[in-house]
Structures are given as structure tokens and as C-alpha cells.
Amino acid sequence: MKKTLFTAALALASFAPHAHELWLNVPPVAADKTLDIEMAYGDSFPHGEPIPAARQALFAPLVATNGAGQTESFPISSEKYRFSLAHPAAGSWLVSATYKPTFWSLKPDGEKYQWRQSNKQQWPGSYCMESTMSAKSASYIGAPGKNRALTQ
């Protein structure tokens, strides 16, 4: 039993170095200033890196919503990972990013493992998983305001 648990733990640990993470950096700013949003995807926490062209379609547009329900959308259509919202309304803002559900598969290739964006039908004999990620960050322009979504 111990040998099985050790083998399973070792196998799962081998996947960790290949994982990417998704997070947002949205610092608060003074009123009448530009709200800067950094969507970070990769392994370079706490800062982002360019999004490869092959992966841009995997992201839903970034959405920024203020306390009054006004939304601004930023499509991911280039390697760009920094976005700006000029003259946003004062108060609280909630920014969200989504990595759409995507199949990834892993299969031995000699002594190494090979990753592909495919499912079991497309790549028989592989270990397959469906991945999705979400990130949210609350920030504010001027003063935080009384946005119940952020304060309760």
C-alpha cells in the first residue's frame, strides 16, 4: 500500500512543473486616473508574460465590473497581457479572467512525457484531463465605496 501511495504521489508531482497559473494584478488608483489591469498567465508570478498566439483563443474576454453594474470587456486577441481603463467611475471594481475548459493530454515519449492539447479520441493511449482556470481581483478607484459584493 505504501509503495502504491508513493508511486501515485510521485506521478502527480511530475505534472506540477508543467502547470501554468492564471492571476490578476489590479492595484487601486486615485480618482480620475487610469485603472491598469495585468492578466498574468504562466509561471512568472507575480508578473505576466506575453500570451502565445496558439493560446489566446483559450481565454474569454477579461471583464471589469463596477458597483453600479457597468462592465468593460477586454478581448484577448494578441500577446498583450496589460490592459487600461481610462476614466473609470469612482468606487469598487471587480475584474475577472477565465481560461476556457480545455483538454490536455500526456503520453510517454521515450524517457520523457509529451503534452498535447487533445482528448483521448484524438490521441489514444494518453492520460487526458480537462482544465479550466478563473481569476478575480477586487480594486477601487478613489475610495472603495459600498459595493456589497466586495464588502460582505
pLDDT in tens, 116-128: 999 999 999 999 9
Give the mean pLDDT of 35-55: 86
| C-alpha distance across the termini of the chain, in Å | 46
Distance CA 103, CA 147 (A): 37
- pTM beyond 0.85, yes or no: no
Residue 57 has pLDDT above 90, yes or no: yes
80 pLDDT band, cuts 50/70/90, is confident
What domains appear along the chain, each with residue ranges and CATH number? 22-99+133-144 (2.60.40.10)
Cα 96 to Cα 22, 51, 58, 131: the distances in Å are 11, 17, 15, 17
Nearest of 135, 113, 136, 138 to residue 126 by alpha carbon: 113
Distance CA 82, CA 77 (A): 12
Give the pLDDT of residue 15: 43
Give the mean pLDDT of 89-118: 92
Distance CA 48, CA 50 (A): 7
Q: Are strands 62-66 and 91-109 parallel, antiparallel or unpaired?
A: antiparallel
What backbone phi and psi angles, to 5 degrees, belong to 143? -110, 155
Distance CA 139, CA 126 (A): 42
How does the average pLDDT of the chain come out, rounded? 83
Cell readout for 151 is: 464588502
